[in-house]
Structure 1
Amino acid sequence: MYKFLEEITINSWPAKYSALMNGWLVRYTDGYTKRANSVSPIYLDPGCDVDGSIAAAERFYRDAGQSAIFKMTPYVMPSDLDERLDGRGYIQVDLSSVRIVDLAGETPPAADPGLLVVFRDRLDAGWLEQMSLMNEISDRGQSVLAQTLASTPLRQGFFLLQQGDETVAAGLGVIQHGWLGLYDIVTHPGYRQRGYGFQLIQHMQAWAREQGAHSSFLQVIQANEAACRLYDKLGYRHVYSYWYRVLK
């Protein structure tokens, strides 16, 4: 039912290099993030050699200098791919939840005179620096991320939430087909448990509604209990799980 969300997430987070392999989408972005350096096997050419395709993907990533990674969802093809990868020595990591919420009728964010929302519709150095500082992203990672985010024609919103001279939260919104995708949501470690993440996302949702978005989705690692509690509070409901299989 939600296979289209997989397509949206692929489009929202472009890869430096993408190639079709018997229907599977093979993506590579210098090793930055699993989502942009993995196989998305949601389509498959009928009658193809599945084990041969797995071996070809392994050769591709070996030549690129990284382990082969497959993103596993309820929509993988063939349906026994997870078992096949397990048999080849792949381990399961990063069990995650895809969540959605209807933006219609959402409460507008309350005005807070002590907070300033800084919005940019294009990536700028200030947002990248502050978000990367809070997410502990390396200089190399920042360089790859900047190239990735600059390569898409999709509508983007870059948000910072500031209290005085301090940036307390940051996030990225990407709109496609009426859906707002939330990425890189982070709160400054010294300002957590104060509702800043909640307020940040409310502002992002308000912006998306102004752009005509009707729904929102996000992806969160299920072991991140604090983030899951925040998204529960915002009304995001779980619709399916995914995980990665990594060759060791």
Structure 2
Amino acid sequence: MNTKQLSKRLEYIGYQSWMPKEVEQFGNWYLRFNGGVTRRANSVLPIGPPKESNMENAINHVVNFYKERDTPVLFQMTQYSVPNALDNTLEKQGFAKRFPVYVQTGRISDISQRDQSIETEILGAPTDEWMKAYELGSGYKTESMMIRRSLMIRSSLPKAFGTASINDKLVAVGLGVQSDEWCGLFNIATIPKHRRSGAGTAVSYRLLSWAQTLGASKAYLQVETENYPALTLYQQLGFESLYEYWYRIRE
């Protein structure tokens, strides 16, 4: 599988792992809406030809979809988005390029093992304590937590909620979602005063070990290109960037 094919596969798996409350499938464009919480869940994923062959009409359909929901128009783009001319067309229409993200991958067998001194656990659902640690570690607003929790649990794919504790205190959390040979890592967050303790590494590895028991052999994650602490963590784990995605937004 070449990079183009793999990127489309991972974009689709990522979409299935982070399901918004509303999706309109417009050919092979997926119009996602989730009340404005998270860009991925409130943007178009154009991984194949749209239902409308005229690109201008297809873009207008998207604009109307989000206008009806009083939400900014966002396209989640890669160099392989369809049609090929979509990104240039959006730029000409005034859609700015924002929020670049690396998609990184690695073989689970090659990923560095965790510090055995940090206690880790797998949960079937996010508890209140898990969500509080995620809120503190991520810095997201308290009022968005219930919507974020719904995003985490809505997918029908197998998923696990990992924790890492130091001195019996929960200090890091993360979400793993398994799809065939792939495990996606999401929402890895460490409480600020425990960063650089190895807790984020420990919870990541525990989630990958969980996915391995279900048959996963490879892992992927999405990380903003300027999130240097996270990039350092994932580099230490053994992840490498495969491709990049970004958003086109009309400002």
Both structures adopt the same fold (TM-score exceeding 0.5): yes
Residues 108 and 206 in structure 1, CA contact (< 8 A), matched pair in contact too: no
Report the CA distance between 1:168 and its aligned residue.
1.9
In the alignment of these two chains, the number of paired residues is 246
Alignment-derived partner of residue 73 in structure 1: 78
Question: Given the alignment of the two structures, is residue 217 of structure 1 paired with residue 220 of structure 2, yes or no?
Answer: yes
Moved more, 37-46 or 171-180: 37-46
Matched with 2:181 is: 178
Determine whether 1:226 maps to 2:199.
no
Distance (whole Å) between structure 2 residues aligned to residue 231 and residue 109 of structure 1: 12
The residue aligned with 1:142 is 145
Q: Aligned pair 1:190/2:193, yes or no?
A: yes
Which one has the bigger helix percentage? 2
Distance 2:241 2:176 in 1: 19
Is residue 3 of structure 2 the alignment partner of residue 18 of structure 1? Answer: no
What does 1:97-116 align with in structure 2 at a 5 Å threshold?
Answer: 97-104=102-109, 106=111, 108-112=113-117, 115-116=118-119
Deviation, 1:104, is 2.6
Amino acid at match of 1:8: I
Residues 110, 59 of structure 1: alpha-carbon distance in 2 compared, 3 angstrom cutoff: same
Question: Quick one: which of 199, 202, 213 aligns to 2:202?
Answer: 199
- More off after superposition, 54-63 vs 9-18: 54-63
The CA deviation string for residues 48-84 of structure 1, in whole angstroms up to 9 with x for no partner, is 1111111111111112111100000122111111111
Corresponding residue for 1:169? 172
- Post-superposition Cα deviations, 1:3-58, rounded to whole Å, max 9, x if no partner, equal 21111101011111000224311000011111010000111148711111111111
Contact 1:22 1:53 in 2 (8 A): no
Native 8 Å contact 2:28 2:49 kept in 1: yes
SS of corresponding position for 1:20 = strand
Normalising by the residue count of structure 2, what TM-score does the alignment of the two structures yield?
Answer: 0.92
Distance 1:28 1:107, change over 3 A: same
2:46 pairs, out of 41, 46, 50, with: 41
Q: 1:79 to 1:19 in 2, by over 3 A?
A: same
Contact 1:109 1:206 (8 Å CA) reproduced: no
Distance 1:245 1:29, change over 3 A: same
3-state SS of 1:43 partner: strand
Q: Tell me the CA shift for residue 165 of structure 1.
A: 4.4
Q: Which deviates more, 147-156 or 221-230? A: 147-156
The question of whether the paired residues in 1 share the 8 Å contact of 2:51 and 2:58 is answered with no
Match of 1:243 in 2: 246
Instruction: Specify every segment of 5 or more residues in structure 1 that has no aligned partner in the other structure, as ranges.
Output: none
- For the aligned residue pairs, the C-alpha RMSD in angstroms reads 1.7
Q: Aligned pair in 2 of structure 1 residues 22, 212: CA closer, same or farther (>3 Å)?
A: closer
Alpha-carbon offset, residue 200 of structure 1: 1.9
Q: Per the alignment, in what secondary structure is the counterpart of residue 86 of structure 1? A: helix
- 2:112–2:238: 8 Å Cα contact kept in structure 1? no
Unaligned runs of 5+ in 2: none
Distance 1:129 1:217, change over 3 A: same
Change (3 A) 1:242 1:106: closer
Give the CA deviation at 1:238: 1.0
Cα separation, 1, equivalents of 2:37 and 2:171: 25
- Give the Cα separation in 1 of the matches to 2:127 and 2:169: 18
C-alpha contact (below 8 Å) 2:124/2:161 kept by paired residues:
yes
Specify the alignment match of 2:97 in structure 1.
92
